[in-house]
Each structure stands twice: as C-alpha cells, then as structure tokens.
Amino acid sequence: MTLGIDRRTLLKAGALGLGALAAPGAAQLLVARGFTHDVASGEPGHYKVMLWTRYVPAAGDSARLSYQVSRTPDFAAILASGETVAEAERDWCVKPVAEGLAPGGWYYYRFRDSAGRSSPVGRTRTLPNGAVERFALGVFSCANLPFGHFNAYAHAAARRDVDLMLHLGDYLYEYPRGTYPGAAAALPGRIIEPAGETVALADYRMRYAAYRSDPDLQQLHRMFPMVMMWDDHESANDSWEGGAQNHQPETEGDWQVRKAAAMRACREWLPVSEEPWRHYRIGDLATLFRPETRLTARSQPLSLDRFLQGRTDIPRALAEFRDGPWRDPARTMLGAEQEAWLARGLRHSAGDGVKWQLLGQQVLMGTVAVAPEAAGWLRPETDERVRRAVNAGLAAARAGLPFNLDMWDGYPAARERLLRAARDADANLIVLSGDSHNGWAFDLDLGGAAAGVDLGVQSVTSPGFESFLPWVDPAELARATVAASPQLKWADTSRRGYLTLALSPERATAEWLLLDTVRRRSTRLAGRHQMSVAHGTNRLG
C-alpha cells in the first residue's frame, strides 16, 4: 500500500520533521521518528572522515546528537567524538566530520540522542598516507529502484578486499512512478515516492528518503566510506548548466531553482562535500579526482536531429556539423576554472611521484560508434524512436561522428584539452565512467599516442543497450560495437553489476562483476571479466 501525498502536504510535513520513509513505497511518511535511515560515511581524508545520519525527534524543531568513533565495535575506547544538531531546515540530516584519526585505519562509529538511544553502528576508513602497496575501490553507477534489486550493493557490502566505494552518479532517478520503468516493467514492491516527478526540494528529499530506505544500499553505506557525485538523474535527464532534456520551464518553473533544489537535497542526504569538485590522496599510490561534469559549467549537449531538421543534403549537413558545432573549442564539460584545477592537480600528483591518477566522473570518455551491422538488426516492429536513433547513428558513423553526444564524444575539444593536460603531466591516467548502463574498456589516445584508459561501469539496475534491440544476441552487439569503435577493447551489453579497481605500484586491475539477475534478491554472479594496465603504459594489456 502506498500513500499519495502532494507537495504542499510534504512541505508541511518536512517543516514539522515528519518527512521520512521506513521502506520504499511504505506509508510511513508521517510516523517515522528517531534514526530513520541508518548511517553512512564519506569524504575520507588521512586524518578525518565525514559521518552521516538522519534523526527525527518526537517533538520540537531540532535535536542534539552526539557521535563517537572507535577502533572496535564495542566502543571500549573513544578516539573521536563530538556533537551536532539535526534540524528541520536540513531535513533532519547531519554530517559532522570526525577528526584526529590515524591514516589508513578502519573505524567504527555511531550517533546517540539525548536519551542515550544509539543509531546502527557504521564502519569507515581513513585514506592511507606515505608508501601504499595496495588499495581497492568498488565503483557503481545508475541505480533505478523500480527496475530491480540493488544486488550489486549487497554483493559489494560483503567484500573485505575493498577499501573505498565510489559512486559515479544516477544514485536515484527523477521520473514519476510508471515512467522508466513503465508499470509493466516495474518490479512489484519497488515503489518510489513521491509518485510524481521530482521538481521541488520536497520532492527530491522524499525520493532520497525512498532510495535510502533500501536495505542493501543501507548496508553498503554502513560498511564502507563512499566518495560520490551526481550525474544527471539526481536533477533531470541530460542536464547541463542551463537546462535539461527532462525539464519543461512552462510547467516545471525556473531550471536554476530546480537545479538548486536537487543539489541541496543531494548534499543533505549524502555524506558529500559542499565543494563541487575535490581530490583525494591515497598515499604515494594514487590521487582520485572527483570533478563535476553536469550542473556548474557544462555546455548544452548538441542534437544532431535538431541540426539536420529541414536539411535535404544529409552528407553535406553532417560534414558541416562535424567541422563546425561539434568541434567548437568553446564547448566545455568542466568550465575553464575546473579545467585549470584538474590540470594543476594532474601535474602536482604525477610530479610528486604518485603512481596513478584516477578520474572518477560521470560519462564515457572513450568513443563509441554504431556498428554497420545495426542496419540489419532493425525489424518492422522496432519502436520508431529506436529506429530513428539507429539510423541517425549509422549516418553519423559514416561521417566520422560518434553516437552519443551527451558523453565526452559530444565535447571533443574539451576532451582533447583534458587528455593533453594528462600527457603534459606524464600522468598514468585511469578514467572511471558511469551513465551508460553497460561495461566498457577503452584505450584513450591523443594524436595516436597513449593518453590513458577509460573503464566504464555497468549499471546497478538500469537497462543497457541490449534493451533497445532485445532480439539481438548481446555478445554479437558487443562484438560489432567493439569492431566499429577503434578505442574500444571490450564491452558487455547484457548484465548489471559493478566494477572493482585494485591498485598496486606496478599494475591497476579492473574486474567487472556481472550479476545473474536484479529481478530477485540474489548476489549470485553470472560472470567476471578482468583487464589491467601496467604502470607507465597508459594502455590496457
């Protein structure tokens, strides 16, 4: 059973401290009290880590909480402690920073209210300093709750060989109930709130409340610190600095207001920095850079369809597009300020002798082209939107253009500037990318010279390329796409899951964990795939 609640009611409830869900889709909005959504941690440093919880008091407009950090789960010796206040103004979320910790250590933490009641106990880790021989990350993207269970989170939460979790965005989706997925494809019991599209601050808060009630996501947050950033669906589909494909100003208001609401809710509900971009130093082994590629500076994504409207000489129009708007050096993903920050960071990291420079960001950097075989994959009953997309992709490929212009493929000059900065810094660049729902491995080059690798992680639940042409063997789809895309060395277009990246001074090893299903709760794997990069090569091998 679900509860239909409009935005006016939700805003009122939020102001009273009543805006919590006990389980996705449950009618608990007006009754949840205490520690409503478990605990989480993030933004690790060498001597500190951010802690998070949400606490709704039985009465009043604020609640004072204390937090404790210990080396052991019995809290026999308290190593760090402090106080914080949960307030209605921040939707009862708190995220204090515990300081004075030792580098490279595992810790346990908890919150307590004024009556001595305790939150669940979480586990977290600080980043190591100095010489580091091994460090591993778990990497995630694109978790759409109604499409299936978060089995990737459950599998990763049980790991003991991973040090830090990295979420590349699409932590949640903004669509109304019954849209992506449609009602027929939505898994029973995986119900999102609110029922409508998330537009106002109250909507985004409620959607986070629904997602953060998932037990597998809670377990992952409880067991590991996480570095994370938004992609587009935390605000609206294909978002950019000035708008989004899924934002209609005439009915949904000012984009800047909606964007600010989405950013605020994310920063309330997750243990994330208020800074739009940051870096994390993992001793002498790696520097992890967390850029922002969506909401602060990104130029509007190009639309080949819009450019071709009314044109009859398609080959000539495609050439004009390729040599004009597509190559425009003014188009940017990061903006000038962030580009300069990243170039400095790459230079300083490599110059300090750090072995690996990791770029954890939202969209694929490698180039993907539509395979010529795709023309034969269309059937009379193929959805018209899919047919148009395939035909447009085929025409683009013939003109030397990529398929998806919302990725770095739509910003080639900006990509070249980034890769040139990495080359000039003599960086060992590993790009970690989300958004696409499938698994990918690319060699990145700059003028034919090796510039790094791009490892694309498959989604937690969202369907991938295979869903558009379900009658095509995914292995054949992947084989043909690899053959048509020179940078692409491997692809999986059939499974959901996550990626791990294990670093040593000599080698970085990626492993894609391919789940058997997301339609029922299970951590069974259907397969694994490994690829690695030797230090100093900037090539998969």
pLDDT at 305: 82
pLDDT at 251 over 60: yes
d(CA 429, CA 346): 9
**Tokens encoding 386:** 């899919």
Phi, psi (5° rounding) for residue 283? 55, -140
Query: Residue 28's pLDDT band (boundaries 50, 70, 90)?
Result: low
pLDDT at 310: 86
Whether a cis peptide bond, with omega within 30° of 0, leads into 146 is: no
pLDDT at 14: 37
- The partner residues of 153 in beta bridges, in order of sequence, read none
Query: Averaged over 281-289, what is the pLDDT?
Result: 98
pLDDT at 12 over 70: no
d(CA 45, CA 126): 6
The answer to whether 363 touches 356, Cβ cutoff 8 Å, is no
The answer to whether 96 touches 81, Cβ cutoff 8 Å, is no
Phi, psi (5° rounding) for residue 204? -65, -40
pLDDT at 18 over 70: no
Whether a cis peptide bond, with omega within 30° of 0, leads into 194 is: yes
The answer to whether 32 touches 209, Cβ cutoff 8 Å, is no
Helix and strand element counts for the chain (H, E): 12, 21
Coil, strand or helix: which one is 352? Answer: coil
Sheet holding 356-361, edge to edge: 278-282, 286-290, 356-361, 429-433, 449-456, 439-446, 488-492
- The partner residues of 50 in beta bridges, in order of sequence, read 42, 97
Question: Which CATH code of 3.60.21.70, 3.40.1740.10, 3.40.630.30, 3.40.50.720 fits the domain covering 127-541?
Answer: 3.60.21.70
Q: Looking at 241-334, list the stretches that DSSP marks H as alpha helix, in order from N- to C-terminal side.
A: 249-252, 255-269, 304-308, 314-323
List of residues 6+ apart from 205 with CB closer than 8 A: 10, 14, 19, 91, 265, 268, 269
pLDDT at 31 over 90: no
d(CA 111, CA 99): 15
- The partner residues of 506 in beta bridges, in order of sequence, read none
Q: What is the CATH number of domain 33-126?
A: 2.60.40.380
pLDDT at 318: 93
For the stretch 385-440, pLDDT in tens is 899 889 888 989 999 999 899 999 999 999 999 999 999 999 999 999 999 999 99
Of 19, 39, 17, 37, nearest in space to 28 by CA: 19
Query: Averaged over 60-85, what is the pLDDT?
Result: 97
Residue 57 Cα distances to 22, 31, 54, 155, angstroms: 15, 11, 10, 33
Long-range contacts of 306-314 (CB under 8 A, 24+ apart): 314/395
pLDDT at 408: 98
d(CA 445, CA 457): 20
- What is the helix (H) or strand (E) element at residue 172, kind and residue range? none
- The partner residues of 385 in beta bridges, in order of sequence, read none
pLDDT at 312: 87
Share of the chain above pLDDT 90, in %: 88
- What is the helix (H) or strand (E) element at residue 35, kind and residue range? strand 34-42
d(CA 272, CA 34): 22
pLDDT at 59: 92
d(CA 304, CA 36): 46
- The partner residues of 500 in beta bridges, in order of sequence, read 138, 511
d(CA 463, CA 144): 9
Q: Where are the domains of the chain?
A: 33-126, 127-541
Dihedral angle sign, alpha carbons of residues 122, 127, 128, 133: positive
CA dihedral 99, 101, 102, 108 (to 10 degrees): -130
d(CA 33, CA 220): 22
474-491: b or e for each residue (b if 16 or more CB lie within 10 Å)?
Answer: beebbebbbebbebbbbb
Token pair 């939107």 is found at 385
343-356: b or e for each residue (b if 16 or more CB lie within 10 Å)?
Answer: bebbbebbeeebbb
The answer to whether 500 touches 138, Cβ cutoff 8 Å, is yes
Of 435, 437, 434, 441, nearest in space to 455 by CA: 441
Say how many residues make up the chain: 541
pLDDT at 269: 98
- Output DSSP code: residue 240: B
Query: Residue 7's pLDDT band (boundaries 50, 70, 90)?
Result: very low
The answer to whether 287 touches 279, Cβ cutoff 8 Å, is yes
For the stretch 447-504, pLDDT in tens is 999 999 999 999 999 999 889 899 999 999 999 999 999 999 999 999 999 999 999 9
Query: Residue 6's pLDDT band (boundaries 50, 70, 90)?
Result: very low
pLDDT at 16 over 60: no
- The model carries a pTM of 0.94
Of 35, 37, 34, 36, nearest in space to 59 by CA: 34
Phi, psi (5° rounding) for residue 309? -60, 130
d(CA 89, CA 85): 11
Q: Which of 89-93, 110-114, 391-395, 509-513 has the lowest mean pLDDT?
A: 391-395
